[in-house]
Amino acid sequence: MSENPYREEHEDIREILRQFENLKAGRSHSFLYEESFERIVDHFDDMDDLPKALEAVEMGLEQFPYSGALMVKKADLLIASRKYYEALDLLDQAYIMDSSDIDVYILKTDAFLALDQQDKAVELLEEAIAKFEGEDRINLLFELADVYDDYEEFDKIFDCLKLILEHEPTNEEALYKICFWTDFTGRNEESIRLHLAIIEEHPYSELAWFNLAASYQGLKLYEKSIDAYKYAIAINEKFDYAYRNMADAYIRLRKYKDAIEALERVIELARPEDVIYEAIGHCYDKIRNYAQARFYYRKASHLNQEDAKLLYKVAGTYMNEENWLQAIKYLEQALQIGRTQTEFNLAMGNCYMKLGRMKDAIHYFTVVVQYRSRNIAGWESLIRCLFSSALFEEASVQVAIAETKTGSKPLFIYYKAAIALALGKQKEGLLLLAEALHKAPKLLKKFIELNPVILQDQGVVDVIARARRK
């Protein structure tokens, strides 16, 4: 056996090219076989030298005018040159020479697609799929799936991949692709039946178990999906995507400690990713281990410094601990990246409210309603802040603006009632309270939260009691 086959092949092509140059120059030369011309064309094609490749194939066809293989190579080059009709004519000739050459069908498909003749491409491939067997049939089904992808016929892509797996259940490319298209098309039930059949025949197919798990997950059958992921991991303990998806299923089930364990395994197996660190932070957040949540949110932020929401999440952990100053520090950093983000400004306003710095709080709530005038949470926070600051007249002005911007929500009737009562307008306030209770009785708690001592007002208590009796 040769010790260096690549070197011998390289020297071989150099000799063929030398003979080819002699032929072009009319010098004495050895006879070039049809296969030699094919190799010369491939060589120039690999070098992206289209003119020389075309020259070589033309010379080859002069020597071997009935060579189907050279016709196919020329057609390929013509398609690359956007001479689609010439390519189709040549491929018709190549078909006469050798109707069993799969490349004839594939190249004709490429030409039809380039001419925006999808129907002809599909018809041709379906004809070929019925004619070929084995690996050729599989390749044609992949080709047909690509055609459907180009024309956004997504369910038909799934159908092609399903056919491939019914003929070749362990085809890795099809197993990888059908997982995506199952999720995209929502055909989870079919995918489950298909992969259960594959597993019955090939129980150690980690991809089949993974796809089965993903399909269960798509139907929100998280317990079943976790069991299937565990089988995939048992077959391949380094299957990081199985751990990743299993963690998501655990999170959906609120099993945060199990999710953390799975995500830590992902970190061991794959390169660090901000989304994984963020997910671990989320899990610790949910179990109220805010220090660990911060640790992982910060790690995520180091990997993705443009994502302001990671800084916002760090701030959120401090807010949960009522450490308002530290929260403000991170919110300021987040606002440097996303100055108009509603959540950031609302959080900043709430922090300043908790610190009793009402002027600063009003500033941030005002930013929210300026940029998101239909955002009810922004208006609610601004009005509550103004009310808490005893700025009742300004609160009344802002309620009126909020109603015009958001479409007169019942919440604002409660706020108008509270403001009227605070301004000593007892009759007006009670009438507004009665109207609000009629329209949205469940929002009464918002009215009480605004000023809990209002329940000491007998008039208010009587209005609430009458509304509840109705």
**pLDDT reported for residue 29:** 55
For every residue of 51-98, DSSP letters joined together read HHHHHHHHHHHHH-TT-HHHHHHHHHHHHHTT-HHHHHHHHHHHHHH-
Secondary structure class of 372 (helix, strand, coil)? coil
CA distance linking residue 236 with residue 228, whole number of Å? 13
Per the rule left: phi > 0, alpha: psi between -120 and 50, beta: everything else, 390 is left
Q: Please answer whether residues 210 and 242 qualify as being in contact, where contact means their C-beta atoms are separated by less than 8 angstroms.
A: yes
**pLDDT reported for residue 97:** 84
Alpha carbon of 374 to those of 222, 379, 408, 409, 439: distances in Å? 37, 8, 11, 11, 20
pLDDT tops 90 at residue 60:
no
For every residue of 15-41, DSSP letters joined together read HHHHHHHHHHHT---PPPPHHHHHHHH
Reported as a single tens digit per residue, the pLDDT across 358-371 is 999 999 999 999 99
Secondary structure class of 201 (helix, strand, coil)? helix
Mean pLDDT value across residues 328-337: 96
Mean pLDDT value across residues 182-204: 97
**pLDDT reported for residue 226:** 98
pLDDT tops 80 at residue 18:
no
pLDDT tops 50 at residue 335:
yes
Q: Please answer whether residues 459 and 426 qualify as being in contact, where contact means their C-beta atoms are separated by less than 8 angstroms.
A: yes
Secondary structure class of 173 (helix, strand, coil)? helix
CA distance linking residue 125 with residue 146, whole number of Å? 11
Among the residues of 304-440, which ranges form H helices?
308-320, 324-337, 342-354, 358-371, 376-388, 392-406, 410-422, 426-439
Q: Is the dihedral of CA 138, 143, 148, 150 positive or negative?
A: positive
pLDDT tops 50 at residue 4:
no
**pLDDT reported for residue 412:** 95
Instruction: Give the pair of three-digit tokens for residue 261.
Output: 């364990």
Q: pTM score, two decimals?
A: 0.81
pLDDT tops 50 at residue 1:
no
**pLDDT reported for residue 25:** 65
**pLDDT reported for residue 322:** 97
pLDDT confidence tier of residue 36, bands split at 50, 70 and 90: confident
Instruction: Give the pair of three-digit tokens for residue 336.
Output: 């440097």
pLDDT tops 70 at residue 30:
no
**pLDDT reported for residue 31:** 67
Q: Above pLDDT 70, what percent of the chain?
A: 96
Q: Is the dihedral of CA 129, 135, 139, 145 positive or negative?
A: positive
pLDDT confidence tier of residue 384, bands split at 50, 70 and 90: very high
Mean pLDDT of the chain: 91
Poorest-pLDDT segment among 79-83, 327-331, 384-388: 79-83
Q: Above pLDDT 90, what percent of the chain?
A: 69
DSSP E strands, 203-302: none
For every residue of 227-254, DSSP letters joined together read HHHHHHHHH-TT-HHHHHHHHHHHHHTT
In single-letter form, the type of residue at position 112 comes to F
The per-residue b/e assignment along 304-343, b for 16 or more CB within 10 angstroms, e otherwise, is: eeebbbbbbbbbbbbbeeeebebbbebbebbbebbeebbb
pLDDT tops 50 at residue 206:
yes
pLDDT tops 60 at residue 11:
no
CA distance linking residue 196 with residue 216, whole number of Å? 12
**pLDDT reported for residue 151:** 87
Instruction: Give the pair of three-digit tokens for residue 418.
Output: 């509270």
pLDDT tops 70 at residue 196:
yes
pLDDT tops 80 at residue 260:
yes
pLDDT confidence tier of residue 6, bands split at 50, 70 and 90: very low
